[in-house]
Chain A
């Protein structure tokens, strides 16, 4: 039994989410290959080969693959699928986009957002926004799985897998074409993999206030910035900051929620954080039920004090 892991990468580096998905793959089989679909992605493929436990790295390149277009990625994977018993993808927005397409092409159901591998055919996954956990057993011969990266530890370095080029990745280029991308460049760590996350909620009241209060604290801590859905919907923060059921799922060492009441949909995205801090002036806010440390108070007072206390 061999497992294919489809890498999450930016053509230069492989993201932590890939190393975490490899951990999940290793619990299925010692024979784990990594597929890098990209454009000018040799550096990412080389980086993937250095991850511990990787048997070999497959590199597929085309313009469409450079933007991870689902049609093109599916084309590559479908051709490789006969050699694998399971195909694992980190459940990032890109992975969520193409993995079900691969599953349907292979005529199997996808096992989505797996947080625990029980055995080679049995997996645990959250449903209802994480308010319940479902243990499912798949009878499909080939398993197509997305892995929730925050539920697994990353493999380390120490591998020396060779990189092998594979073809494909041009299908669909006519029907779906890339037009443009606006990706926010930031010196802060990526939200999904950050050790510390500082999040702001609706209580901030404006985009200016969000910028003035949340960002300096995040920068002092070397943290990523997150936001509740309410703050994003109100336009205080961009959509890719959203932590929650419908946004990003994070599990940092430290999560600081400022002016966030703690709606179920937000808790679903951060409740697996190691330590949660809540700052809210409403002592009855549900966020305090999951917080390890809470301060009841106005963020306008507490955050400046926190900046001072951090020195």
Chain B
């Protein structure tokens, strides 16, 4: 059984995000970029399924600039088998990403797609669900546990107030939440091996998908800053301030 893992190159989660003064976006020049953390978790889960013998091949696909090859190499070093890069120099919106992935799936015929629940740049949390809709596959989002047996998967999902377990027939789309696993660090030998693994280079036009933007970004601004507060000496003063000054008790 084959698994497809879509991964995205995003600003590293430790980097402080700065809005450009001309309000056209976020400054990405000379900023450290990494694999989207949720996609690392998805990759890890796919590789673990391969190690368990449930999965035979893990294919990684990314849509982005040429440098996204590095992101694919990271996944290959973690244990994925081969990669596909669909190059695009502009941001591709979630619906167009889902359409491209659908086209890749038509060629690759995986039994399962495991992907991060959201990317930490656009924070849309949409591509997995959109892909499932376009394929008419079942979806299991925000997974904290995945067990594949035969032609179905039991997926425990993080929901408001607790956990929900679904059984989905395969093929299906599963999106990874934070607590699904802890991704491994690639070993040096595996990083070296990953350099020899194949990455197929494609463009959106190869798949006949229109990736032009439907949502026009008018401006990107800094959120309002909270004015700094005061330090109080002790609990008694705090309670007094909350009652009289803030009026919240």
Contact = CB atoms under 8 A, between A and B. Distances in A.
B218 A135 contact: yes
A208 B131 CA distance: 42
A210 to B, nearest CB: 17
Contacts of B131: 104
Interface stretch (A36-44, A157-165, A290-298): A290-298
Contact of A103 (B95, B220, B222, B234): B95
A188 to B, nearest CB: 11
Contacts of B164: 67, 178, 180-182
B166 to A, nearest CB: 6
Contact of A192 (B11, B123, B124, B160): B160
A295 B167 contact: no
Interface string B151-192: 000100011111111111100100001110000000000000
Contacts of B179: 232-233, 239
A130 to B, nearest CB: 6
Given A127-B122, A293-B242, A103 B235 contact: no
Contact of B219 (A104, A135, A291, A310): A135
B95 A183 contact: no
Contact of A131 (B17, B159, B215): B17
Given A100-B130, A131-B223, A134-B217, A276 B229 contact: yes
Secondary structure class of chain B's binding surface, majority of residues: mixed
Contacts of B120: 128-129, 245
A277 B235 contact: no
Given A96-B125, A132-B220, A135-B218, A175 B138 contact: yes
B246 A176 contact: no
A282 B16 CA distance: 21
A101 B139 contact: yes
A210 B74 CA distance: 37
B52 interface: no
B221 A253 contact: no
Interface in B183-229: 214-223, 226, 228-229
Q: Using C-beta atoms within 8 Å of the partner chain, give the interface range for chain B.
A: 35 or more
B144 interface: yes
A100 B125 contact: yes
Interface in B85-128: 93-95, 98, 120-128
Given A254-B248, A308-B235, A183 B162 contact: yes
Contacts of A290: 226
A131 B206 CA distance: 35
Given A103-B95, A135-B218, A112 B248 contact: no
A295 B238 contact: yes
A170 to B, nearest CB: 14
A14 interface: no
Given A100-B126, A109-B214, A93 B137 contact: no
Contact of B138 (A130, A172, A305): A172
Contacts of A74: 133
Contacts of A107: 95
Interface of A: 67, 69-71, 74, 92-94, 96-105, 107-113, 122, 126-140, 172, 174-184, 190, 192, 196, 221, 229, 232-233, 238-240, 245-246, 248, 253-254, 264-265, 271, 274-277, 288-297, 302, 305-306, 308-310
Interface of B: 11, 13, 16-17, 19, 26, 93-95, 98, 120-134, 137-142, 144, 154, 158-169, 172, 177-179, 214-223, 226, 228-236, 238-239, 241-242, 246, 248-249
The 5 A-B residue pairs with the shortest CB-CB distance, nearest first, are A104-B130, A305-B235, A100-B129, A100-B126, A176-B138
